[in-house]
Structure 1
Amino acid sequence: MAPPTNRPLFRRIFSWYLFPIFGSIVWVGTLLGLLIDWIVAGSPHYPSMDSEGQTVAYISDIAAEFLKPLFIAGASVTSVCFILSLFGARWLRHRGRIIPNTSLAQRVFSFVAITGAIVGGVGLILLSIFDTKRHKTTHRVFLTVFCAGVLVSALGTVLEYWRLEHHHRWSRALKWSFWTKAVFFVVELGLAIAFGVLLHEQKNNAGAIVEWVTALVFTGYLLSFIFDLLPGAKSHTGEFKDVEKLRPQSAHY
Structure 2
Amino acid sequence: MAIFSHQRHHWAYVWIPIVGAFIWFSTLWAMLITWLATGRPHYVSMTSNQHIPLISDIAADILKPLFITSCSITAVTFILDLVFERYLRHSGRLVPDMRTRERVFSSLAILGSVLGGAGLILLSIFDVRRHKPFHDSFLLVFIVGVALSAIFTVVEFRWIHKDFQYAPLLKRSYWMKSVIAGVLIILAIAFAGTEFKVVNVGAIFEWIIAMGFTFYLLTFYYDLRQSKGVHKGELSADRLNNSNGRYRMRQTA
> What residue in structure 1 maps to residue 215 of structure 2?
220
1:251 deviation in Å?
2.4
Match of 1:159 among 155, 173, 188: 155
Q: How many residues align?
A: 246
* Structure-2 separation of matches of 1:199 and 1:75: 21
> What residue in structure 2 maps to residue 64 of structure 1?
60
Structure 1, unmatched stretches of 5+, are none
Output one character per residue of 1:159-196: Cα deviation in whole Å (capped at 9) or x when no partner.
00000100001111111111111112221111111111
Match of 1:124 among 81, 96, 120: 120
1:66 deviation in Å?
0.3
1:250 deviation in Å?
2.7
1:12 deviation in Å?
4.2
The verdict on how the C-alpha distance between 1:74 and 1:136 changes in structure 2, with shifts beyond 3 A counting, is same
4+ residue stretches of structure 1 with deviation over 6 A?
A: none
Other structure's SS at 2:45 match? coil
In the alignment, is the contact (CA less than 8 A) between 1:15 and 1:232 conserved in 2?
A: no
Match of 1:89 among 65, 85, 90: 85
Output one character per residue of 1:65-118: Cα deviation in whole Å (capped at 9) or x when no partner.
001000000000011111101111100000000111100010011011110001
Percent identical residues: 44
The verdict on how the C-alpha distance between 1:91 and 1:13 changes in structure 2, with shifts beyond 3 A counting, is closer
Aligned-pair RMSD on alpha carbons? 1.8
- State the TM-score, normalized to the length of structure 1: 0.92
Q: Does 1:184 align with 2:185?
A: no
* Structure-2 separation of matches of 1:15 and 1:98: 16
* Structure-2 separation of matches of 1:158 and 1:250: 21
Structure 2, unmatched stretches of 5+, are none
1:6 deviation in Å?
8.7
> What residue in structure 2 maps to residue 107 of structure 1?
103
Output one character per residue of 1:25-45: Cα deviation in whole Å (capped at 9) or x when no partner.
000011011111111110000
* Structure-2 separation of matches of 1:172 and 1:188: 24
In the alignment, is the contact (CA less than 8 A) between 1:24 and 1:222 conserved in 2?
A: yes
* Structure-2 separation of matches of 1:6 and 1:167: 31
Matches within 5 A, 1:1-253: 12=9, 14-50=11-47, 52-201=48-197, 203-241=198-236, 242-243=239-240, 244-251=245-252
